[in-house]
């Protein structure tokens, strides 16, 4: 069962392999995957969180309480990515806001192009 999800290029974060109640977002970078995927391969952006293989860490570092979902394909050039402060993160699916975030506190981004 474990091998199928690893066919994406290495510089891409995994995308959620299923959409449902198992989806959780990384509290640090807002990457969205299933709890199982975080357990399986950790967070591609937050390797220092050591979530891989540690379900307690996954529970600590992720939340199912998030809002919105966007797919970021080019974090370096996407204004949404800059707005979400994931400009240096890997392409993947990101939550617009996670628990504790005040969505309204985000300032309108300056669009340069
Ligand atoms: Zn993360």
Provide the CATH number for the domain around residue 70: 3.30.40.210
How far does the centroid of ligand 1 lie from the alpha carbon of residue 36, in Å? 14
Nearest to 18 by CA among 1, 49, 28: 1
Q: How many domains does the chain have?
A: 1
Give a yes or no: residue 40 inside a domain: yes
- Candidates 77, 62, 66; CA nearest to 27 is 62
Per-residue pLDDT of the chain (113 residues; tens, 9 = 90+): 444 444 444 578 988 888 877 899 999 999 999 999 999 999 999 999 999 999 999 999 999 999 999 998 888 888 778 777 777 789 999 999 998 766 545 555 566 66
Residue 77: per-residue pLDDT:
83
**What is the 113 CA–ligand 1 centroid distance (Å)?**
28
In this structure, is residue 28 part of a structural domain? Answer: yes
With respect to residue 110, please indicate whether it lies within any of the assigned structural domains.
no
State how beta strands 97-98 and 70-72 pair. unpaired
Please tell me the distance between residue 26's alpha carbon and the centre of ligand 1 in angstroms. Answer: 5
What does the block give as tokens for 18? Answer: 């299923």
Q: Tell me how far the alpha carbon of residue 112 lies from the centroid of ligand 1, in angstroms.
A: 27
- Does residue 18 fall inside a structural domain? yes
Give residue 9's domain range: 3-98
For ligand 1, the distance from its centroid to the CA atom of residue 28, given in whole angstroms, is 5
Asked if the structure places residue 59 within a domain, the reply is: yes
Instruction: Report pLDDT for 107.
Output: 56
Q: Does residue 103 lie within any of the structural domains?
A: no
Distances from the Cα of 85 to the Cαs of 24, 29, 37, 38, 110, in angstroms? 18, 8, 22, 20, 13
What was the pLDDT predicted at 106? 52
Whole-model pTM: value is 0.74
């Amino acid at each position: 069962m474990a091998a199928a999800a690893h066919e994406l290029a290495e510089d891409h974060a995994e995308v959620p392999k299923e959409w449902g109640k198992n989806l959780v977002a990384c509290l640090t970078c807002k990457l969205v995957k299933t709890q199982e995927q975080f357990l399986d391969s950790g967070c591609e952006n937050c390797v220092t969180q050591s979530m891989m293989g540690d379900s307690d860490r996954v529970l600590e570092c992720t939340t199912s309480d998030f809002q919105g979902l966007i797919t970021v394909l080019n974090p370096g050039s996407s204004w949404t990515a800059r707005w979400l402060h994931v400009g240096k993160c890997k392409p993947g699916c990101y939550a617009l806001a996670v628990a504790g975030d005040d969505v309204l506190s985000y300032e309108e981004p300056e669009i340069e192009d």
